[in-house]
Structure 1
Amino acid sequence: MPYVTPEQIERAKQMDLLTYLQYYEPQELVRFSGNVYTTRTHDSLKISNGKWCWWSRNIGGRSALDYLIKVRGMTLPEAVLQIDRQAAVTPPVSPKSQEPSEQKKLLLPEKNENNDRVIAYLMGRGIHREIIDYCIRTNRLYESHDYHNAVFISFDRQDFPKYATLRGTTNKRYMGEVNGSNKHFSFSIPARQESRRLHLFESAIDLLSYGTLELLADRDWRQDCCLSLVGIYKPKKIIEESTPPTALMQYLKDFPQIKEIALHLDNDTAGRLAAKTIKTILPPIYTVSDEPPKCGKDVNDYLKITLKIRQPRERE
């Protein structure tokens, strides 16, 4: 077995995986989205913010040394010599000399003078006025000037708008997203106080529908955190090779206290497959429960059915 010195081990520990792949195995590095990368061999392995995680195997680390040992199966001396030999041939260039990637600017549509059409549209779908008013007051929702679309806004941890999705109020089949949107962030509502539990939905309207159902049941609709996904989540044919939804990964990174996840995805084939996949591939540190709507295609359908049942009882 080859011998390596403590100094060689210490040097090897200093190299992060992204730098290693950029300079010594660029053919293996694939940009996933934004500042997140994956590898050509293992596309469920994601690299971001100086760390890497192989989601399908529930292992991760920081350094290239960790990667070579845990993923490539090298011994410690073999991994140290691999890094040491490569660095001796081609020393990595300082990151400061690289051009920073330009961040896209979120081009939010102009606001309308009021939100009347958006309020009427959402109330027509059963959403409680208290919840609509909360979203407007916290700048999560407004009506666009030109087309009177509902604009649902997502923020990062510093409260900067990062993503916006559009929903038509006149052409009610219209759905889209704003130019410059960052798919790592999606529409969410925080818990009133810190919570370990997250509720996950396919759309912003399903999220608001769940809040309405909680309010109608005399429960605190902001007791837990709520997050919607950026469109329909499509796993791979072999679900173990799939990657969790980008917005969910970002949220769990931003809110590490989350340990329980309730899935409220649609009752159709795509929703059931998405729920099964997320339950399968999330690391075991999370307790994941599948809680689809009791009837109807989605949470908003279930809300409207619930309201129809309640109305005759309220008139009695």
Structure 2
Amino acid sequence: MPYVAPDQIKHAKQMDLLTYLQHYEPQELVHFSGNVYTTRTHDSLKISNGKWCWWSRGIGGRSALDYLIKVRGMTLPEAVMRIDGQAVVVPPVPSKARETAEPRKLLLPEKNKSNDRVVAYLRGRGIHSTLIDYCIRTGRLYESRDYHNAVFVGLDLQGVPRYGMLRGTWGKRFAGDVNGSDKRFSFSVPARVKSTKLHLFESAIDLLSYGTLELLSGRDWRRENCLSLAGIYKPKKNIGESTPPAALTQYLKDYPQITEIALHLDNDAPGRLAAETIKALLPSTCTITDEPPQRGKDYNDCLKMSLGIRRPQEIERF
């Protein structure tokens, strides 16, 4: 079970239920009358004047945290991560009728007026300002307004946001997908000109770390395509039953010119298993090379070792 710090719990308690539903689950909010609201799932649950009460069950509360625990049945850590991370930890399973009538909508958090905290956070992890500026300018990165999270955005071929990954920049580190994210369109950076090679990473941070190493070596960091898998790829026990990562499958569909793939996955057991599985699953028409970081567990470790930046023990991978 994930650990949440006391300051995260305190922070999560500050959000009332109406605000939570308006911003992160608007499809669940129903206006009843005046300043009274109810939910689509429980019409006897009323929200008014900063409080909520589920009349048919005789329970109530003030915060969104109370609601997620008492009504949705989440554990405290799950509820805190849902609110504090603005991320889906255990998404509800919609009915088939709702899936047809209401396709999932990407609910990216509002942008902050500046990106100062996110820039400082990424610079602290060794990412070069050139890469940070590019990502901000192209809509691939920004700082959220309410919690100052780093928001890594995945775009489709038309430049429409389809995926969002949140990374905390203060206190206890956390990560999670934005509500409505489509993992087929995870964070990526295309080549400056048409390229037949794709570099594959577990996370956006690793991707940007590799790009920084390329830039510091005097090479064009955008000479080839780069894609994040938005987390660790976990194949099934029987490799024959596994399928390639959704993001990789979609990328090869969108960029059929790709004939070379370099795997830059972690130097741990899950990373090595993922690399071997992906190599086994990809078609023989692609040339696959396994290129884990030369030092450290991942490419951010490798970058920080190269720059002499000490890695705090509390920082977690994502």
Question: Which TM class, normalised by the smaller chain length?
Answer: 0.5 to 0.7
Deviation by residue 1:91-148 (Cα, 9 ceiling, x = unmatched)? xxxxxxxx95642111110111100000000000000001000000001000001110
Letter of the 2:256 partner, please give it.
P
What aligned pairs does 1:1-316 form with structure 2 within 5 A after superposition?
102-308=102-308
Letter of the 1:189 partner, please give it.
V
Inter-CA distance 193–172: structure 2 relative to 1 (3 Å threshold): farther
- Note if contact 1:152-1:187 (Cα within 8 Å) is conserved in structure 2: yes
Q: Which runs of 4+ in 1 moved over 3 A?
A: 99-102
Does 273-282 or 166-175 show the bigger shift? 166-175
Cα displacement (A) at 1:242: 1.1
Letter of the 2:279 partner, please give it.
K
Q: For 2:253 and 2:101, how far apart are their aligned partners in 1?
A: 22
Structure 2 residue ranges without an equivalent (≥5): 1-98, 310-318
Deviation by residue 1:219-269 (Cα, 9 ceiling, x = unmatched)? 000000000002210011122321000010000000000010000000010
Q: For 2:291 and 2:218, how far apart are their aligned partners in 1?
A: 20
Structure 1 residue ranges without an equivalent (≥5): 1-98, 310-316
- Note if contact 1:155-1:161 (Cα within 8 Å) is conserved in structure 2: yes
- Note if contact 1:240-1:277 (Cα within 8 Å) is conserved in structure 2: no
State the partner residue of 2:27. none
Deviation by residue 1:164-214 (Cα, 9 ceiling, x = unmatched)? 000000135110111111111100000000000000000000000000000
- Note if contact 1:112-1:144 (Cα within 8 Å) is conserved in structure 2: yes
Letter of the 1:213 partner, please give it.
L
- Note if contact 1:240-1:280 (Cα within 8 Å) is conserved in structure 2: no
- Note if contact 1:190-1:226 (Cα within 8 Å) is conserved in structure 2: yes
- Note if contact 2:204-2:230 (Cα within 8 Å) is conserved in structure 1: no
- Note if contact 2:154-2:162 (Cα within 8 Å) is conserved in structure 1: yes
- Note if contact 1:233-1:245 (Cα within 8 Å) is conserved in structure 2: yes
State the structure with more CA Rg.
1
Scaled by the length of structure 2, the TM-score of the pair is: 0.65
Letter of the 2:212 partner, please give it.
T
